[in-house]
A = this chain, B = another copy of it.
C-alpha cells in the first residue's frame, strides 16, 4: 500500500477543517509536506470517485463534493487504492505448487481485510475531523 490513502485522508480532512473554503493543491501540499503535483494526482482519484470537486483558474481549488458526515473512510480508501490486496501473491505460473499456498494465504487474509474495510466504513470524515482536530490545532498554534 502506498501513501495515497494517508494523502487522501489529509485532503478530505483539511477540506473539512476549513469548512467549505476552496483550497489549492499548493496549500494542501505545504500542510502535508510534499509537492503540489503529488496532491493533484490523489485529488484526481478523489474527484473521479465523486468525493471532491475542483475548479481551475484564479480563486480555484478543491472542495468536498458532499457533506463530511456523509463520507466515510472506506470510500476514501477505495477511491485511491488500485490494488486492493494487502499481501503479495506469488507472481509465478498458473496452478503451480506455490500458487496453491499463495491462494491459501490470500483466503486467510481476506477476512482480516474485510474487517478493516468494515472499520473504515463505520467512520465518517466528520468523525475523523472531530477526533484529530484538537491535535492539529495544537500543532498549528505551536508553529506560529
- Please report the C-alpha to C-alpha distance between residue A87 and residue B1 in the assembled complex, in whole angstroms: 6
Given contacts A108-B123, A109-B116, A112-B119, contact A96 B5 (CB under 8 A): no
Chain B residues, Cβ within 8 Å of A116: 108-109, 112
Chain B residues, Cβ within 8 Å of A73: 108
Report A13-46 CB contacts with B as 1/0, cut-off 8 Å.
1100000000000000001110000000000000
The interface size of chain A toward B, counting residues with CB under 8 Å, comes to 47
Chain B min CB distance to A72 (Å): 12
- Please report the C-alpha to C-alpha distance between residue A123 and residue B5 in the assembled complex, in whole angstroms: 31
- Please report the C-alpha to C-alpha distance between residue A73 and residue B33 in the assembled complex, in whole angstroms: 39
Partner of A108, one of B2, B31, B96, B119: B119
Chain B residues, Cβ within 8 Å of A33: 92-93, 96, 98
